Amino acid sequence: MRRGVRLVGTLFTVVSMLAATPAFSQLAPRNDALTKGQQQVDDGDFEDAVKTLEAGIDAPDLTDEQLAELYRLLGLSHLYLGNEDKARDAFEKLLQARPDYELPKATPPKIRTLYARIKDDIRKRRVRPVTLTVSGVPEQAPGQAVTVESRIDDMALGAKAKLFYRRSGAQNYSSIDFMRDRAERSQYRATIPAFELPEEPSAYDLEYYVEVADAAQRRLAGRGDPFTPLTFRVNARATASDADKPTAWYANPWVWVGIGAGAAAVTTGAILLATQRPTGTLPITIQIEGMP
How high is the mean pLDDT of the chain?
76
pLDDT over 90 (residue 210)? yes
Structural domain range at position 172: 131-234
Under the banding of pLDDT at 50, 70 and 90, the label for residue 16 is very low
pLDDT at 273: 40
117 and 209 fall within a common domain = no
Q: Which of 116-125, 201-210, 265-274 has the lowest mean pLDDT?
A: 265-274
Specify the CATH number for the domain of residue 181. Answer: 2.60.40.10
Q: Is 10 part of a structural domain of the chain?
A: yes
Q: Which position has the higher pLDDT, 157 or 9? A: 157
Q: Is 239 part of a structural domain of the chain?
A: no
Which residue, 214, 234, 254, sits at the end of a domain? 234
- Structure confidence by residue, pLDDT tens digits, 61-101: 677 788 888 999 999 999 889 898 888 888 888 876 577 78
- Spatial CA neighbour of 126 closest among 73, 179, 88, 82: 88
- Cα distances (Å, whole numbers) of residue 234 to 146, 200, 210, 280, 292: 10, 9, 19, 83, 103
Looking at this protein, which amino acid is placed at residue 51? K
89 and 166 fall within a common domain = no
Continuous segment of H or E residues that includes residue 85: helix 84-97
Specify the CATH number for the domain of residue 81. Answer: 1.25.40
Q: How many CB atoms are closer than 10 A to CB 276? A: 8
6 and 117 fall within a common domain = yes
Domain count, the chain: 2
Say if residues 205 and 233 touch (Cβ distance below 8 Å).
Answer: yes
29 and 74 fall within a common domain = yes
Q: Is 188 part of a structural domain of the chain?
A: yes
Under the banding of pLDDT at 50, 70 and 90, the label for residue 251 is low
As a whole-number percent, the residues of the chain with pLDDT over 70 amount to 68
11 and 113 fall within a common domain = yes
Q: Ranked by mean pLDDT, which of 9-18, 57-66, 237-246, 273-282 comes out on top?
A: 57-66
Which residue, 188, 219, 234, sits at the end of a domain? 234
Residue 108's Cβ-side half-sphere holds a number of Cα atoms within 13 Å equal to 8
Q: Is 170 part of a structural domain of the chain?
A: yes
Say if residues 142 and 237 touch (Cβ distance below 8 Å).
Answer: yes
- Structure confidence by residue, pLDDT tens digits, 141-189: 999 999 999 999 888 777 889 999 999 999 999 999 999 888 888 999 9
151 and 87 fall within a common domain = no
Under the banding of pLDDT at 50, 70 and 90, the label for residue 221 is confident
